[in-house]
Copies of this chain bind each other. A is one copy, B any other.
Amino acid sequence: MRPSKRQNDELRPVSLERGVSRHAEGSCLVKFGDTHVLCTASLEERVPGWLKNSGKGWVTAEYGMLPRATGERMKREAASGKQSGRTQEIQRLVARSLRAVVDLEALGERMITVDCDVIQADGGTRTASITGAFVALSDCLAWMETRGMVKRDKVLKDHVAAISCGIYKGTPVLDLDYPEDSAAGTDANFVLTGRGGIVEIQGTAEGEPFSRDELEALMKLAEKGIGELVAHQKSCLEA
């Protein structure tokens, strides 16, 4: 029995709210249960140096947590003067995941930065970030389309969403919350496209190594969960 009483293949309540920022070209407040992440997409008419005159644009991401997003207050990274290894890992993952579904040539020589700021954390902040960042990015491209800059559907090749799975008390379960994550023997994050292609898979044995069969079981859960997340994205974007 999971602490949250969920079924093994059951997501937490998912909410995707668009247009939450007055300033950003695209934004989404994503909630996976008690994990809340504010995603904003910012457009700039410039590209990193190595892309100048390439005709290609760039999509990048940054990640942060408010100091008291967690059960114990964490040191503010701006005050300690550097981003942790964990922060850097996550923001690199979010950025790669988004670029996997973007046609950088169709974007043109522009840069979109998606900021994912965790307002409240209860496990799964990186997967919520990816799932919400896609919505913010999509809305940013829609904003650009209304100004004749791009065709959104030319730039976005597919949906992308992410979920974590893990082996909790010997059983594979979907969408770990913090109490499960702390206790899970194995923890894996999956990033899949709307058509089910694998963009990124990261599995880690916290204690005992896991087997190929277990990996297979986690993968199946992920496919189910991401299917639901993509459906959430679609209905939210159509609203």
Instruction: Verify if A193 is at the interface (C-beta below 8 Å from B).
Output: yes
Q: Which of A6-14, A60-68, A141-149, A229-237 contacts B (4 or more CB under 8 A)?
A: A60-68
Interface size class of A (residues with CB under 8 A): 35 or more
Residue from B69, B85, B188 in contact with A23 in the complex, judged by beta carbons closer than 8 Å: B69
Q: Which of A49-57, A125-133, A206-214 contacts B (4 or more CB under 8 A)?
A: A206-214
Quick one: given A23-B69, A205-B198, are A83 and B79 in contact (CB under 8 Å)?
Answer: yes
Residue from B68, B115, B198, B212 in contact with A68 in the complex, judged by beta carbons closer than 8 Å: B115
Q: Which residues 52-90 of A have a CB within 8 angstroms of B?
A: 62, 64, 66-71, 73, 76-79, 81-83, 85, 87-89
Establish whether residues A200 and B197, one from each chain, have CB atoms under 8 Å apart when the complex forms: no
Instruction: Verify if A182 is at the interface (C-beta below 8 Å from B).
Output: no
Q: How far is the CB of A16 from chain B (nearest CB, A)?
A: 17
